[in-house]
Amino acid sequence: MPGQKAKWTILTYIAAHNNLEDFGMRSWRQICDVGSTKQVIHGVLFDGPNGASRYIFGDPGKQLLKEDFDDFDSGDPKRLVETATWLFQKYPAEHYGLVLWSHGSGWQPNEIQQLAGMVRGDKQVTAKEAEQRSATSASPALFRTSLAQILSQPSDQRAILFDDGSQHSLDTLELHRVVEEINKGTGTCLELLGMDACLMASLEVAYQLRKSVHFAVASEELVPAESWPYDRIYKKLKANPDFSGSDLAEFITKEYAAYYENNVPSLLGGDVTKVALDLSKIEDISNALQRLSKYLIDEMESMAPLLWTAQITCRDRELHQRYHSKFDLYLWDLQSLTDYLLVEGTGDILLSACRAVSRSLQPGKAVLISIHQGSWFDGIGGVSIYLPMPNEAPRVTEYYPQLCFAQDTSWYDMLLKYHQVGKKRRVQLR
């Protein structure tokens, strides 16, 4: 197969050096059993507690190539770039796909202690702090460098940064740098980026990647450990190698929802959500949101209580019995927020701005398709946004202004104004 240009070459990067090893192996077996063809090449990196290997699959159940590593850090962005470049150079294709399998599973306490020692010398993180960080949903980061940057801060700042969900912003920046490096090697943009990991379907992530990825598939919520039904997804692509990026993104979303309709994930109560995005149109959402941002800034004295109540209402409706969710990282569904403002808000300018945001989120535009299973997510649009509440979040994370979305829109200024007014008025949770 080397030397022939395939239709698709896809790397599924399984970072399972954690308590999800068995689930990672399940995904590995599904991909191996589908195998590759001349038109669709599958490569997999599997990193588990007992070591790492990278594979290129041939006929169903067969390995064309396997390379083992005694020391492999799948959380190191350099290793991801190296692995993608290795596969894509061996098997050039019309379209390249990258699927990140991580689930935001986080770091084990001993890994956090080890990393803290590396970045802070002899200032080891305490066992108690390591346990706390590994136990909270705010601790997972796709890349070790994101966690290292937080741990390098003084102890009083580390608490603030972790509580702030700052690794969300850090990982967004790191992910962008990784994809850019991969694209340099292929000379083209990734056709598809699949994020089989929790909480990655945010407007900030999509906007950051808009010039380096054509289509993305992600969830704004938690992802079951069983992950995607790779056997169904890759069999369909095998049978339809002429799939475009949008075709594949939509099919992944549909098949994911269909799978969990019949295979209810007990830990999530049966509720899942997934979205497929056309990143070339993501500015339609950001442009619409810019109008709303400017209005909120100008009218924040009167709008802060309404925005606060909108957040509480949306969160109360979704949480139910869940212990962890996107709200732990101060992420809110954008459609739910604007829907509430449309019902409870007044004034032509506000309502017009909210309607524009709502229209931009409708399927068939930037949002190719958004599907959910379960009543928790009724009414959501599939895309979240960073919106920490005054008096609840310590502050707006200091890393947020580094994002392209924050630099190109007024959302960051709106967040600062919201916190300023909210704290001055001592707005409290009901």
User: 44-55 pLDDT, tens per residue?
Assistant: 999 988 889 999
Q: Which of 195, 248, 203, 204 is nearest to 223 (CA)?
A: 195
Question: In this structure, which amino acid lies at residue 30?
Answer: Q
Question: In this structure, which amino acid lies at residue 331?
Answer: L
Please list, in sequence order, all residues whose beta carbon lies within 8 angstroms of the beta carbon of residue 213, skipping any fewer than 6 positions away: 179, 189, 190, 191, 192, 193, 279
pLDDT band at 323 (very low <50, low <70, confident <90, very high): low
* Residues 182, 81: Cα–Cα separation, whole Å: 6
What does the pLDDT average to over 74-85? 93
Largest CA distance in the chain: 66
What does the pLDDT average to over 66-80? 90
What does the pLDDT average to over 334-351? 96
Phi/psi for 215 (5° steps) reads -135, 145
User: 127-141 pLDDT, tens per residue?
Assistant: 666 665 655 554 557
User: 233-273 pLDDT, tens per residue?
Assistant: 999 999 999 999 999 999 999 999 999 988 877 655 568 89
What does the pLDDT average to over 348-371? 96
Angle of the 245-262 helix axis to the 230-239 helix axis, nearest 10: 140
DSSP structural state of residue 124: P
Mean pLDDT score across all residues of the chain: 87
The residue with tokens 């608490």 is: 159
pLDDT band at 430 (very low <50, low <70, confident <90, very high): very low
- For the chain, what percent of residues have pLDDT higher than 70? 86
According to the model, what pLDDT value does residue 429 have?
A: 39
The residue with tokens 């809110």 is: 332
User: 102-128 pLDDT, tens per residue?
Assistant: 854 455 656 666 666 655 554 566 666
Residue 165 has pLDDT above 90, yes or no: no
* Residues 16, 250: Cα–Cα separation, whole Å: 26
CB contact at 8 A, 237 and 356? no
Residue 4 has pLDDT above 80, yes or no: no
Q: Which long-range contacts (CB under 8 A, 24 or more apart) does 313-322 make?
A: 313/340, 314/340, 318/376, 318/377, 318/380, 320/269, 320/376, 321/269, 322/268, 322/269, 322/376
pLDDT band at 386 (very low <50, low <70, confident <90, very high): very high
Residue 92 has pLDDT above 60, yes or no: yes
Residue 417 has pLDDT above 50, yes or no: yes
Is-above-0.85 flag for pTM?
A: yes
pLDDT band at 428 (very low <50, low <70, confident <90, very high): very low
Out of 218-227, 252-261, 396-405, which region has the weakest mean confidence (pLDDT)?
218-227
According to the model, what pLDDT value does residue 117 have?
A: 64
CB contact at 8 A, 296 and 415? no
Tokens of 89: 């150079």
For the chain, give every domain's residue range.
6-101+169-196+226-264, 109-165, 283-424
DSSP helix/strand/coil, 424: helix
* Residues 264, 270: Cα–Cα separation, whole Å: 5
Sign, Cα dihedral of 248, 251, 257, 262:
negative
What does the pLDDT average to over 403-414? 97
Tokens of 188: 């083209």
CATH architecture of 6-101+169-196+226-264: 3-Layer(aba) Sandwich (3.40)
